Amino acid sequence: MKRHGHGLVLGKFYPPHAGHHHLVETARERCERLTVLVCAASVESVPLADRVAWMREIHPDVTVVGAVDDTHMDVHDPAVWDAHMAVFTAAVPERVDAVFTSEAYGEELGRRFGAESVLVDPDRTLFPVSGTAVRRSPADCWDFLRPPVRAALARRVVVLGAESTGTTTLARALAAHYRARGGVWARTGYVAEYGREYSEHKLAALRRRWPGAAWEDVGFTTDDFPHIATAQNDREEEAARTGSPVLVCDTDSFATTVWHERYVGGRNPLVEEIADRTAHHLWLLTDHEGVPFEDDGLRDGEELRPWMTDRFRAELTRTGRRFIEITGPPEARLTAAVTAVDELLATGWDFAAPLPEKR
């Protein structure tokens, strides 16, 4: 098999899928070195920086560069070709020996680069997927997506509420409901509350020094909460990479901002900054009314439940987060939660249309 010096793969990767990765991997095997050029139009809703980062993570042994290309495609118009080539050669100025595509325009692209054109699986027989199909329904194409793209597209649903209001019970039941749907949904992830694990460790450490210590003897400082928020985000990201199109979270870093008020008082700007680093899509606020308070050894705030419910509601509203309140017995709560999540999924992913193409 002929090997080339410098190969080039270019595309929108909006978003990248298995067909793209097969193209890149095939080109990499046939070249001494390979450049992948990610071209994004300003009207598209996935940032160029994200696409470049995804491709670099997935293909660490190639050079990935990005460029903004706001010219529509018309393979029959020489002036349009000239405009595209100005973008391509500015981004990749060195000599290109071979261009790899799955498109009929590959031959003209190769001619304009003065390079050999190599066509790879033009009929999409190995990976029957396209960017258009992914944008139309990511859930239907989920198995064609790699972990960083799944993490970016997963709909993250957060169950949060005051102490002993059934948040963990509801979150686990909600995840189990979607797993029971089978198929791609069988991988629906559940992310436990890291703050509880952290609290257990603090209590255990205190008891090693003072065996008679109880939960009310544990103290928190403002510095505990950025750590809790960061760890919660990290665990969500890990779960989203391997899960289904929906991820169920038992609290999140946003909730940590209110727990900071509860245990320390006031706000911590760093926690709020951390909370804004991860995109979530729906919050389910569990009401305290009608839920008996159960002291499991890490709770002491029964009288604070109404205040916390009010604070969660106020902060969700103030920050413009999409949420519903969950009330009633457990069966009614799960039904309401499933209805809300299904409505979220039904709204789709809102990809902006790419620039028009004429081939």
Q: Which domains does the chain have, with CATH numbers?
A: 2-133 (3.40.50.620), 153-345 (3.40.50.300)
Q: What phi and psi, each to the nearest 5 degrees, are found at residue 9?
A: -125, 130
CA dihedral 38, 43, 46, 50 (to 10 degrees): 50
The CA distances from residue 142 to 146, 177, 199, 234, 309, in Å, are: 8, 19, 36, 22, 36
Residue with tokens 């999540």: 341
What is the rounded CA–CA span in Å between residue 22 and residue 29?
11
The CA distance from 59 to 42, in Å, is 24
pLDDT of residue 312: 97
Do 274 and 229 touch, CB atoms closer than 8 A? Answer: yes
The residues of the chain scoring below 70 in pLDDT are 296-299
Residue 296: the pLDDT is: 67
Residue 256, phi then psi, degrees to nearest 5: -60, -25
- Beta carbons within 8 Å of 35's beta carbon, 6+ residues apart: 6, 7, 8, 9, 62, 63, 64, 65, 92, 96
**Can you tell me the distance from the alpha carbon of 36 to that of 20, in angstroms, rounded to the nearest whole number?**
10
Cβ 104 vs Cβ 122: under 8 Å: yes
Q: Residues of 238-255 as b/e, b for ≥16 C-beta within 10 angstroms?
A: ebbbebbbbbbbbbbbbb
Longest dimension (CA), the chain: 82
**Chain Cα centroid distance, residue 238:** 10
**φ and ψ at 249, to 5 degrees?**
-115, 125
Q: In the prediction, which pLDDT does 220 show?
A: 92
pLDDT (0 to 100) of residue 291: 85
Report residue 221 CA to chain centroid gap: 30
Cα 21 to the center of its chain, rounded Å: 19
pTM of the model: 0.92
Model pLDDT for residues 181-204, shown as the tens digit of each residue: 999 999 999 999 999 999 999 989
Contacts of 118 (CB under 8 A, 6+ apart): 7, 27, 30, 98, 99, 100, 101, 106, 110
* Residue 106 to residues 7, 28, 117, 142, 233, Cα–Cα distance (Å): 13, 17, 6, 28, 42
Alpha-carbon torsion (46, 48, 54, 55), positive or negative: positive
pLDDT in tens, 123-165: 889 999 999 999 999 999 999 999 999 999 999 999 999 988 9
- In terms of Cα–Cα distance, which of 65, 66, 10, 62 is closest to 32? 62
The pLDDT of residue 298: 54
